[in-house]
Structure formats: structure tokens, C-alpha cells
Structure 1
Amino acid sequence: MSRAGCHMIGGMDISSIIGLALITVASSPVPAGAETKAVTLEPIRIANPEFDQAGQSWQFTGTESADAGYWSPKKHGAADAEWFEGEVATLGTGGGCTASCVLPADAVVSGASYRIGFNVARWGPDLASLKVSIEDGASRPIASSGSIEAGLWRRRFVDLEIPSGDTISGPFTLVFRTVENKDAVRESTVLLDKVSMARIGVDEPGFQSLFNGRDLTGWIGNVKGYGVENGAIRTFPERAGGNLYTQDEFGDFVFRFAFKVPPGANNGIAIRAPSTGDAAFEGMEVQVLDNSHPKYAGLKPWQFHGSVYGISPALRGYQASPGEWNLEEIRADGRRIRVVLNGMVISEFDLDEAVRAGTLSGQEHPGVSREKGHLGFCGHGDLVYFKDLRVQPIFRPESKP
């Protein structure tokens, strides 16, 4: 990279959960990115994924003993953090509270699988959990998850498969439903934010692998500072720093890969970069780092994960917890740049528009004008892992070789 007050409900201090938003726990319902072969995630638009109360879109259903609706941590003294910002959804655990939204008409098809991502926490002393489902036009679940326990804030993922051959009809709805805890002494509440949905698939024809899984054949630059471990490229910062680049250059492309960052780690993806000089300025650098670590609390918006350094910011909160694999896609098509993280579009912009009034960093970025260059990893002295690296060049009729 070249970032409390309190509110009492039922006698419980909300800051006991909100204030610990940057702490994570170890368990995960679905090991996102742990697939034995590379998959792709095609984003499906969720209306109002961050529960902006003014945006509506979500329907809430409470029960006689529990409420459901929008709630603002900031209005009660809790600053925004990686896992939540603005309003969040609150779902009581007194038996079947729901938050639901209607999906796009063509989003759900028979035989397809979907990855649902969401940030979740528990407020209250007793166990709280929820289930995720896709329901048809008759409000019948056609795919459901198991129970997912809510604890301290973190991002969770579940994969839902629509049975093949079933006749299904919409409108389809994505539903989060709390599970009643009959042993609870005091009711807890599930907090929910930043929902994403993507269709799980495989690469289209034309993608080529950039990594053989064994060694750094096809890579140039600081090969001493990188190596291979368990089928992934990893940094060895104790040996050397610096950048590692593809031997080939790419102009317009779709680059897909998986990455894993330990707590506090930092790296970057060089695009359209020369093999010498500062890739963040002579080319462009798409940030790779653990947004949630306290040492990054003071970063500028254009320094967080997925941002193009100094040029354009990215949405926060859609990254898996430190130590878990993430799936990412970077698309550079002419002057358009798009970054998709775990099935959510976190950045999409036009380079010319982004720098029309100057760069966000206030520095010159000549790399914005480059039409071609290397892909690569920008080492910043931390341990980071990359795997499933593949690229598809985008050729226009006049640019075909």
C-alpha cells in the first residue's frame, strides 16, 4: 500500500458487541474459496444491500415476542467499522423474525448454485442464530442453509443450490430468518449488514492459467521474495521484498484469482504496469489488505482493499475474515475498471472521469494513461497468498494479434 458511546436495550450495553466489531472468531459455516477447483462468482444485484433505511427494499417480519427492522449504530454512539456502517438490520430471536428482499426476475434458475455473503453479529448474552433461504412465489423455501451462529461481527458465506429439474416460479425472495433459542434466559438480537449474492459457475472459454501450481515459471521480477507453498504463490518477506510480475503483458483483460491475507497483511495487484519503477504510479495498483485491522483505521478511502491506489475507492465490508480465502476479479476494459470481491462489485469506474479533477492522492499517476503492461503482486513486507490465477485477454477487432 504506496485506517464509544453506548445504547442500552433490555439492560445490555450495545457497545459490548459494536465496540468489538474488529475482532473475529475462527469458525465459518462455508469455507469460501476452499473449492478444489477454481470457480467464478457472477454478481447478482441485491437492492439496498447495506440496509439504508431511506432505500427501503427490505421487508421485516417480527413476532409477538421479538422485533425486526432497521437500526442505526451510529445514532447510538458506535462509529462505522469494516463490518457495518449506516443502518443495519436487527432481527429478534424470539422465534422466526425475518428480513427479506425480492430478487431480480432472472436471478434464480433450476440447477444453479448461489453464494450468499453477509456480515452478522449477535447482541445479547445468549446464543443467537439464523438461516438463509431462497423462497419461490408461494413463499416456499427452494434452497436453505443450516443454522448459522452469530457472534462478534464477521463476514459469513453460505452456498445454496436450487434442485435440478424442479419447476420453480417467482417472484423469488432472499430470506434471513432467526432461529428460536428456547433455552435463552434473555433474548438476544441478530445484527445483519452488507448482503451479497452471486451465481457460482466456471470460467468462460478463453481463460489461460498464469501459474502452474509448482514453481514461478512465467513470472519475472523479485522471484527471491516469492515462492510456492501448497499450490499457492506466497510472499517470503524475510528473504526479500519487491514485486513479482507476469512475463507477459496485458492491455484489456479479465483477471481472476483467490487470495488470503493474515491479520494486518498488505499487498497489491499491479495492472498495466512496467516491470520497473513504482507500480502504483507507473502502472496502477489494486489494493490487497486486511481492512479490518486496527492499524489501518486511519487510511484514506482510496487505500482500502479493492481501491485503485490514489485513483478510486472501493466498498468496504465484503472481504472474508483474515486467514480465509477470497475470490476476486479485476476487469480492465479500455478506460473502464471493475473489481468484484466474493461476488460483490466493490468498484466500477471510468479512469478519465476519476482523474478529471485530479487524483485522490494529489500525486501524479502517469500509469492511468498506460494501455498495456504486466500483471503482478506488489510486495509490502507481509505474508500473503495467491492461487487460481488466470486471465482472459479482451480483444477488439482492431486489436486482435
Structure 2
Amino acid sequence: MKITKLFVIVALCLFTLPSFSQDTAYIRPDASGSGWVTMFNKGLTNAVFPAGVWSDSSGIFTATKDEALWSKDEYDDFVLDLDFMNAEGTNSGVMVHATDTKDWIPHSVEIQIADDYSKEWSSVSPTWQCAAIFGHQAATNKTLHKAGEWNHFTITCRGRKIWVVLNGTLVNTCDMSLFTSAKINPDGSEIPSWLSNPMATLPLHGHVGFQGKHAGAPIYFKNIKIKRLS
């Protein structure tokens, strides 16, 4: 009887422990703490990108063309912390789990960045707007700052789950394992044809990337830090 009661108490305690999402992704982490590293060196000397496209101006990274900026290292589970600033009409993104950096679109997951206030992106599908898992799942409860103002992203990838925190608010929680089709999302919405690999089948080890000057508008990044999770 005592053993049974003890088992129940232990089970209840475990059940009430904070989940990973509550402990890590809901709260903006202290990116100066243990385990955090700056992803790119000064001048982007440890980054992968076509010569002459990306530049570092006092720690602010931007591109002149629609060519991505990639980490040399590959990652499994991690937390990524960064600031981004849109221009008018920006359409960019952060790519995770990228196994092919040349043909990255079907071989990665993109967390969308967009100027949702612009004419171009204010009326598109919510899965194409800022903080969405592009083409798959829209963000909710978001407060996006307007073009010319800095925004803060924290992106946590652990197993097949992704948490997106925008300006201190959890706006997207995605379970990749639910996305088993390359044509239709679990909610019945259509997936863009160029996302030809179901998210549920994507490897979970890959590069982290940042989309360049897409659709004619620039994007700006700074303070990019990453922490590997055991």
C-alpha cells in the first residue's frame, strides 16, 4: 500500500514538472549564459555564402542578393537567439535542419520573416507571414515591429518540435511529425509545391541559414547566438 501511494505521488510530481516548452521556449533566454556562442565571427569569416553578397557593418549583417548565409557547423537540438529588422516589403527567413545548402528549400524548415505591414505581404496566407513555419503553420498572438525597428527571435529545435518566440511571446509551436504529406497540411491547407519533402521525413541534423535580399527588399540581422542542447 505504501509503495502504491509513493508511486502515485512520484507520478503526480513528474506530471506537474514544467515541460521543455514552458522552461525554454516561452521565456527569452539569457544569451550571455553558459553554453551560448556567437554564431558568426567579425567579418563573417566563419560563414558560408557567395563572395561579395553578405557584409558585416558593425555587427549588422545584410545581403545584396537573394543568397543565403549559412553556418559552417551543423546542429541537432539547439536554441537560436537573434535580432532582425525588416525594410519595407522584406521577405526573408531563418532556415533550420538544412541538409543541402544549395537546394535548401525542400531540404530544410524555414521560419518566415516578413514585413506583414507591407502591401506585398499583408494579404497573403498567414503561413507566408512573419514567424510562420513557412507554408505549413501560421503564427498566432504575435506583435511584430514595423519596418526600421528591431525584432527579437528565439527559435528552439528539439527533436521534431520547433518553438518560435517573437519579441518575448511564444507565437508558434510546431510538431514536425504531424506533417506527413507534401501537398496538404494537417489543417487541410495546401502546401506550396516547392516544399516537396514532408516535414515529418526531414533529417534533424543540419545547417542554420538566413535568407538574403529576397523579393527586392533587404533584411538585417544582428546578435546571432546559438546554444546546443544535450
Same fold (TM over 0.5): yes
Per-residue deviation at 1:306?
A: 0.9
> Would you say 1:314 and 2:139 are equivalent positions?
yes
Distance 2:95 2:28 in 1: 27
- Aligned residue number for residue 383 of structure 1: 218
Structure richer in helix, relative to its length: 2
Superposed CA RMSD: 2.3
Per-residue deviation at 1:309?
A: 1.3
Q: Residue 271 of structure 1: SS of its match in structure 2?
A: strand
**Distance 1:362-1:242 versus aligned 2 partners, 3 A rule:** closer
Distance 1:246 1:215 in 2: 14
Distance 2:119 2:166 in 1: 21
Given the two structures, how large is their TM-score scaled by the length of structure 2? 0.77
**Is the radius of gyration larger for structure 1 or structure 2?**
1
What are the Cα deviations for residues 321-362 of structure 1, in whole angstroms up to 9, with x where unaligned? Answer: 210111111111001110000000110021112446933415
Identity of aligned residues (%): 26
Q: Residue 305 of structure 1: SS of its match in structure 2?
A: coil
Per-residue deviation at 1:316?
A: 5.8
Distance 1:203 1:316 in 2: 27
Distance 1:201 1:277 in 2: 33
Structure 1 segments of 4 or more deviating over 6 A?
A: none
Q: Residue 215 of structure 1: SS of its match in structure 2?
A: helix
- Aligned residue number for residue 361 of structure 1: 191
Per-residue deviation at 1:258?
A: 0.5
What are the Cα deviations for residues 120-143 of structure 1, in whole angstroms up to 9, with x where unaligned? Answer: xxxxxxxxxxxxxxxxxxxxxxxx
Distance 2:80 2:60 in 1: 16
What are the Cα deviations for residues 275-334 of structure 1, in whole angstroms up to 9, with x where unaligned? Answer: 434423211111111111122133112111111112221126411121011111111100
> Would you say 1:217 and 2:57 are equivalent positions?
no
Q: Residue 74 of structure 2: SS of its match in structure 1?
A: strand
> Would you say 1:372 and 2:205 are equivalent positions?
yes
- Aligned residue number for residue 205 of structure 1: 34
> Which of 58, 61, 81 pairs up with 1:233?
61
Distance 2:49 2:90 in 1: 21
Q: Unaligned 5+ residue runs, structure 2?
A: 1-23
Per-residue deviation at 1:376?
A: 0.8
Correspondence list, 1:80-99, <5 A = none
**Distance 1:221-1:43 versus aligned 2 partners, 3 A rule:** closer
Distance 1:200 1:207 in 2: 10
Distance 1:261 1:278 in 2: 25
Distance 2:25 2:208 in 1: 23
> Residues 216 and 223 of structure 1 are in contact (CA less than 8 Å); yes or no, is this contact kept in structure 2?
no
- Aligned residue number for residue 301 of structure 1: 126
Distance 1:391 1:272 in 2: 14
The structure showing larger relative contact order (alpha-carbon pairs under 8 Å, at least 6 residues apart) is 2
Distance 2:149 2:138 in 1: 23
Distance 1:210 1:242 in 2: 18
> Which of 286, 310, 320 pairs up with 2:111?
286
> Residues 28 and 165 of structure 2 are in contact (CA less than 8 Å); yes or no, is this contact kept in structure 1?
no
What are the Cα deviations for residues 220-261 of structure 1, in whole angstroms up to 9, with x where unaligned? Answer: 132421101122111123xxx311101111111101001111
> Residues 43 and 343 of structure 1 are in contact (CA less than 8 Å); yes or no, is this contact kept in structure 2?
no
Structure richer in strand, relative to its length: 1
Distance 2:29 2:159 in 1: 27
Counterpart code for 2:163: R
Distance 1:293 1:323 in 2: 12
Distance 2:68 2:175 in 1: 26
> Residues 245 and 376 of structure 1 are in contact (CA less than 8 Å); yes or no, is this contact kept in structure 2?
yes
> Residues 262 and 290 of structure 1 are in contact (CA less than 8 Å); yes or no, is this contact kept in structure 2?
yes
Distance 2:54 2:167 in 1: 25
**Distance 1:200-1:351 versus aligned 2 partners, 3 A rule:** closer
> Would you say 1:246 and 2:71 are equivalent positions?
yes
**Distance 1:288-1:316 versus aligned 2 partners, 3 A rule:** farther
Distance 2:225 2:122 in 1: 32
Number of equivalences: 197
Per-residue deviation at 1:392?
A: 0.7
- Aligned residue number for residue 91 of structure 2: 266
